[in-house]
Structures are given as C-alpha cells and as structure tokens.
Structure 1
Amino acid sequence: MKAGIFKPLKERSFRSLFGAQVFSDLGNWLDFLAIQVIVAYQWGLDETAIAAVIVVIGLPWVIVGPFASVFVDRLPKKHVMITCLILRIVFVAGLFFAPNLYILLLFVFLKGTVAAIYDPARQSAIRHTVSEEQLPEAVTLSQLSMNTMKIVGPALGGGIIAFFGARSPFIVEMVGFMIAILFLLKLPVLHETEEHNDKESAKKQKYWGELLGGFRHISKTPLLKISVILSAIAFFIIFLYDGLFIFVAQKLGFSEGDFGVLISAVGLGSVVGSLLMGNWTQWKRKPIHFMATAAVFSGFLIILMGMGSMNVIELPPVGWMLGAFFLGLLGSGESVPYGFILQSETPKEMMGRVSAVATSLQTFSMLIAPTAGALLAKWLGVSAVLAGAGSATCLLGIIILLFIVKRMNMQKAATEKQVQA
C-alpha cells in the first residue's frame, strides 16, 4: 500500500508536531470524562452543573481565542505551543485538587484558554512543516488524531477511573502533556523569519487592525467564507440534537450499556472516513462540492434515525449502528475538506487569527444550539427535533450545491460573452 495519508510523517518537523497533537488530543478527552464523573457521581450535582462545565469549556474559544490569536501570529509557534502545554499541566493539577464546582470551573476555563491559544499556533505550524502538495494529507492526519482520541480518550479514561479512581485520569493527562512537550522540543525551528523581519513595521501595526484582518480575510475569500458558514451552521444543527441523542437511542431500542457502542460506531466511522480521505485526495479539487454532498447524505441518515425513533421505520440494533457508522464517515467528508480549505486559503502569517475566528464562530454555534435543542424537544418532541435537524442538514447541502451550480453557470456565461466579444 502506498504511503498515502502518512506521507507527511516522513518530514521530521511534521512528525514532531503530529506526535505532540496526539498526546494533546488524548489529554483533552481524558479529563472531559473525569470532570463529569466528579461532578455527577462524587459531588452528586445535577444537569445544571454539567451544562455549566460544557459552557465553560467552550467559552474561551469564543471570547479569548480570537483576541489572543494576534499575538499567536506574531510569536514563534514552537515557543507558544510549549508554553501552553506547560500551563495546561499546571491547570490540570488545579483540576486534580479542586475542592468544589467553582474552583473546578475556574481551572476548566483557564485550561480552555490555553487550549484556545495552542490550537491556532498548531494550525499555523502545519503550514510551516509540510509542503503545499502534502497539505491535504497533513490536515487529514490532524483530523484523524482528533477523531481517534474521541474514541480512545473516553474508553481509556473510563478504564483508569474504574481501577484508580475518578481523579486518576488527570495524572495520566499531565504525563501525556509532558510527552507532547518532548515531541515539540524535537521540532526544528520553523522558518518564520520572513514574517517577522520588519519589527518596526510590526510595532506600527495596530492590534485591532490585525484582529479585524482575520475577519476581513474570511469575508473576502469566497471559498473560505462559504466553508466557514457551512461548517458553523452544520455545527449548530449537530448540537441541536447531540445532547438529545441518548433519548433517541432509547427510542431506537438501545440499552444504557449499548448507547456507548452506538457512539463508538460514530467515532469509528469518523476514523475510517479520515483514513479514506487521506488516501484518496481527489476531493481537494472541489472541496466545497464534497462538503455539501456529504451534508445531504448525512442529513438523510439523520432523518431516517428520527423516523426510526417515531417507529415509522424499524431496524435491528445492528442496522442503526451501521447508520451511526456512516454518519461518522460522512462527518469526515465535511470536516477534512473544511480543514484543507482553512489551511490552503489562508496566508501563513494570518493562520492563527483566521483559524481562531473560524473556531470561535463554530464554538458559538455549539454553545447556543443545545439550549435551543432542549427547548424544541419540550415543544415538539425529541424525534421531531432529530428529523428537523436532518432536514435542515439536507437543505443546507442542497442550497450550497445549487449556489455552486448557479455560480458556475454565471462564470460560463461570462466566459462565452468574452469569447464572442
């Protein structure tokens, strides 16, 4: 089998960056489970406390990430990432010793803040470690790490909690961040000097001008603008029903124990999708087409699940697990091209700002969607929300495809007019 998706790992720089990401991603999912166990089981708090944790996890990406990203673009990426990892170790230690919810939320927020700074630096570093030709594979590997750790992290965290106690994953997480630092210490100095040579010019550049530059770049780059809007709306739709999925699973006949298997099927589909996307990169020619088509098919699957929870369609559990697998597979068909567009349509020197702005828009959608989903579920019912979310996903993909076709026809007509003239 050809190297395919793993080609960028031949580059020493990217290999170090990717190794650090794997352990960083693992840590993120280890403590997500541990925090919920502490809040719900050890302290006996209700759903409001869990909701507060989830909101505080996402908040730094909205209110800190975009503003800090200007400094991320100015500073050496290697040093930024190492500093962030050191601070994350400190803040995870704070989570380990947190005596109550308020102290826990403080350290959750602080850890989320450095994560919101680390990620734009990592996104920017990708562009400095691989060639443009290897960018699709590098982006796919990055997505593969995130998708894989979504499965491995909670499973490993659950095992560690069972054997060593609720707070033990924090220790493993700190060790993981230390290993990530070791990988980054081996990262060669990135060639960023051309971006920072004119220091006097950089000093004269106003902070707000640079910050708004990230927003302006997205608004003035058609392909990037469409992908960011499509991704943000898709995230909103997904998180409308994400918190309700456990109730859908009950209606589909899944027991409490089997629910984890259903979620794992989605995760496995994401991993397989990332592997396929990395080994077949023809999608990079028309990434928006691919994202929109994936949205149409995934929306169709969500509608089927909604109809199943209404007892309109009946399938054995294995059939729904297969549907969940393909839902994860199609999810990679949206997330991987989005990551590629974000990287390929953004200048290296603006990568931090642009990625932080795009992530903040997505995270904002993720924060407001669960509340809207819960209200709609009380009004219309869980099954109706799921079917509606699937219909909205299909419609979104169709609208984007129609927009693309209309634009292509306009360009064709303009070309023909020029030829005739």
Structure 2
Amino acid sequence: MGIWKNHNFLVLFLGRIVTNIGDSIYYVAAMWLVYNLGGSAFYSGLAGFLTLLPSALQFVAGPFVDRWPIKRTLITTQIMQAVLILTIPVAYYFDVLTVQLVLIVMPIVAFIEQFAYPSQTKALPAILTQKELIKGNSYFSFAYQGIDLVFNAVSGILVAFMGAVTLYLADSVTFAVAAILFSLLKMKHIEDHPQSREKGFKTIMTHYFAELKEGFSIVFTSLMATFLIGSIMANFAIGAALAILPAFGEDHGGAHVYGFYLAAMSTGGLIGALLANWMGKFRLGHFSIAAFLIGTVCWVLAATLPWTYTGIVLYGIAWVPIGGTNVIFGAVMQTVIPNNMLGRISSVQRSMTVVAMPIGSLAGGYLAAIFGSTLIFAVSGLGLAFVSTVWILHPKLRKLPKADDMTPKLLHLPFPDEERTSQQE
C-alpha cells in the first residue's frame, strides 16, 4: 500500500484515469462521427492519419517536456483539449458541423496530447523509487487499459443510442476535471529546474535544438534504433487496423461491434499490463519472439473466422503481448535513462516507433474502400509477426536478459550504471 500513500502518485493516477476516460470517449465518438459524416472507410482512414500524425512528431515536444514544469504542462494541456472538443457540440447546435471541422479539430487535440503523456512519463520516475517503477507503470497501464475496456464498449453502445455529438460534450467535461486534479500535484522540487528560468528566445531555441539533436543521437547510436525496425512495421499495421475498425464493425453488426472490438483490444492490453511482472521474469528476447508470433495467429483468426464474438475474444488475446511488453519496456527506459533526459529520449523513441501509424491508417482506409474491411483487417495482423522476425534475426535482441537485469551498457546507452535515474523517496 506504500505507493498509494504517495500524494503525487495518487493525484497523477486519478488524473490519468479521468484523462483516459476522455480519450476513450473522444476516440470512439470522433472515428464514428467522421465515418458517418463522410460515409466511407476512406474518411475514417484519413481521420486516423490526422490523429496519429502528431504522435510521429512527439520528438518536437521532448525538449519542451524536459524544460517545462510538469504540473503546469499537464493542467494547460487538459484545458486546451476541453475547449477544442467543445467546439464540435457548439458547431452542431448552430447547424454548421461538417466532416471537415472534425478533421481539423482531431489532429490539434492529438498534438496537444504529445505534451501531456511524456510529462506523465517524466513524472513517474521522479516521484517513485526504482523498485516501484514497474508496479507504478503497471497501475498506469491498468488504468489506461481498464478505462479503455469499459468506455470503448460503453461509448460504442452510447454512440448507437445517443449520438457522437453528445459524447463530445461529456468528453469536454472530463478534460476539465482532469485539469482540476492535476492542479493538486505538489512537485515544486521537480519543477524548480534552472533551464525553466532561462530568458531570451535565441538562448532557449539554441538549447532546444541541442537537446533535440542529443535525443536523436542517443537513440540512433543505441540498440533502441534496432527496436524501431520491427515496431515501425507493426505500427503501420496497427494504424491500418484502427482506421478501418468502424467499417469492420459496421460490416459485422454496427456501432456496438466496433465498441466491442475496441474493448477487446483494451482487455488484452490490460491483461498484458497486469501480467507484466510475470512476463518480466522471462528473458526479454525469447519472450518477445514467442509472444508476438502467438499474437499474429490470434489476430488473423479474429478477422477471418465467421463467428463475430469468437473473433472479438481472439483479437483481445492478440493484444496481450503488446500490453505487457509496453509496460516492461517503459519501466526499462525509465530505469536506464537519467530523468533530466527522459523526455527528449522517450519522445524521440515514441515518435520513431509510431511514425508509420498515420501512413498505415491512410493506406488502410484507402485499401478497405477498394478490397473491403475484412481482408485488410486480416492482413494487418501480420504486422506483429514482423516484430518476432526482427528479434529472431538480430542476435543482441534475441539474447536480451530479464527486465531487472537490463543496464545502459546492454542497450548501448552512454550512461554509466551509477547515473541511472535517481528516484525521489
């Protein structure tokens, strides 16, 4: 229970829950609204492209995240998202709502998120001890996946009965509540960074580009660069699948089926997150190879079997290794990277990892409009197999030890063990 007595962790966790409620409602409502206003899988693919593109640009936010106060960043991002999302119900009320407006708002909201989530990532290792990191990340993943599990399914049903615009209104409220929760953080000892007091535009930008370059340099001269090879192809496929899910759900029963598939994805990720500690007992290389191969088989069967609800279950199983390895890799990165550099390095890594998702989303929507959603959804499942293939072929990835035994040296990072992230008790 010690971790729950930590005021900052508790507030951050509650804020994360409320934010994730907003994200879940928003994503389901937005994708369905675009699909209905546009009348084609192409529009949902375009929406996915515009929503995911900011994630590929997260490296731009990294140096700012390292420099800006965590608390202020979290509050500001939630308020901005609340206001932007509110424009959709307002436009609907005045009868000026168009698919173009939704497509404009979606990427702006997504871009703001690129500052919020790295700030939460940066906060965790600063408020928890090193031994608490995997547990803390597991709780965060539990909140993330658990909220998705409930609200993806519920939102899919509510869209069918209440309409997407009503959910937008509720979503705006959740972001406002999250801002209030984040205002309760007490992190003065972390905020008071000398860089945050620098004056002068030229000085700030000089430091910004130096830090941005440093983040890229560290990632691409380490073993993290090899991680990206498999991740890029997998995320291309995931981007395609998420974009065509509204059309796939419509073809197999309607909005509620779309919600159940999203809920299955979250369930699988949640189970994986809860099993992260158990997964971490295995050698990371061997486990990743086997787990992603099993995930591939389940995904393809989920798309091709004629039984809808069996497919939903199999699709959830396919996401178990994704949920578990995300927690493990996140904890490893927070452990081996100094906190003052975690923002720029994690954002560069995430940007490069998801760079293919918006392209996959656009391609998936286009191809689904030609060949049908079922075929493209099945083919997208093969993206997970690419991860296993890369790890099989690369000897250093294949031989990676258990998560607890990971060091900066094993990942070819330029940080001696004694400089690993210091934690606040």
TM-score normalised to the size of structure 1? 0.78
* Secondary structure, aligned partner of 1:206: helix
Question: Paired residue for 1:137?
Answer: 135
Distance 1:376 1:159 in 2: 27
Match status 1:85 vs 2:78: yes
Question: Paired residue for 1:11?
Answer: 6
Question: Paired residue for 2:20?
Answer: 25
Question: Paired residue for 1:273?
Answer: 272
Question: Paired residue for 1:189?
Answer: 187
Identity, % of aligned positions: 21
Distance 2:243 2:106 in 1: 20
Question: Paired residue for 1:349?
Answer: 340
Distance 2:104 2:398 in 1: 48
Return the letter of the residue paired with 2:275.
Answer: L
- Deviation, structure 1 residue 17: 0.8
Distance 2:113 2:28 in 1: 17
Aligned length: 391
CA contact (8 A) 1:266 1:325 kept: yes
Report which stretch shifted further, 372-381 or 152-161: 372-381
CA contact (8 A) 1:128 1:190 kept: no
Distance 1:288 1:104 in 2: 42
Question: Paired residue for 2:415?
Answer: none
Question: Paired residue for 1:298?
Answer: 295
- Deviation, structure 1 residue 365: 1.0
CA contact (8 A) 1:291 1:333 kept: no
Question: Paired residue for 2:59?
Answer: 66
CA contact (8 A) 1:78 1:190 kept: no
Distance 1:382 1:197 in 2: 50
* Secondary structure, aligned partner of 2:189: coil
The aligned runs of 1:145-224 (5 Å cut-off) are 145-158=143-156, 160-161=158-159, 165-192=163-190, 195-196=193-194, 203=203, 206-222=207-223, 224=224
CA contact (8 A) 1:23 1:176 kept: yes
Question: Which structure's relative contact order is higher, taking Cα pairs within 8 Å and 6+ residues apart?
Answer: 2
- Max radius of gyration: which structure? 1
Question: Paired residue for 2:413?
Answer: none
Corresponding residue to 1:34 among 9, 29, 37: 29
Distance 2:359 2:283 in 1: 31
- Deviation, structure 1 residue 215: 1.1
Distance 1:60 1:112 in 2: 6
Q: Deviations over 1:267-291 (max 9, x none)?
A: 322222222225x3634x7444433
- Deviation, structure 1 residue 22: 1.0
Distance 1:207 1:398 in 2: 37
Match status 1:50 vs 2:51: no
CA contact (8 A) 2:11 2:184 kept: yes
- Deviation, structure 1 residue 19: 0.9
CA contact (8 A) 1:291 1:337 kept: no
Q: Which stretches in structure 2 are left out of the alignment for 5+ residues?
A: 401-425
CA contact (8 A) 2:233 2:386 kept: no
Match status 1:396 vs 2:387: yes
Distance 2:248 2:29 in 1: 25
Return the letter of the residue paired with 1:269.
Answer: G
Return the letter of the residue paired with 2:60.
Answer: F
Return the letter of the residue paired with 2:276.
Answer: M
Question: Paired residue for 2:409?
Answer: none
Distance 1:193 1:371 in 2: 39
Distance of aligned partners of 1:132 and 1:176 in 2 relative to their CA distance in 1, 3 Å threshold: same
The aligned runs of 1:339-378 (5 Å cut-off) are 339-373=330-364
Return the letter of the residue paired with 2:23.
Answer: N
Question: Paired residue for 1:237?
Answer: 237
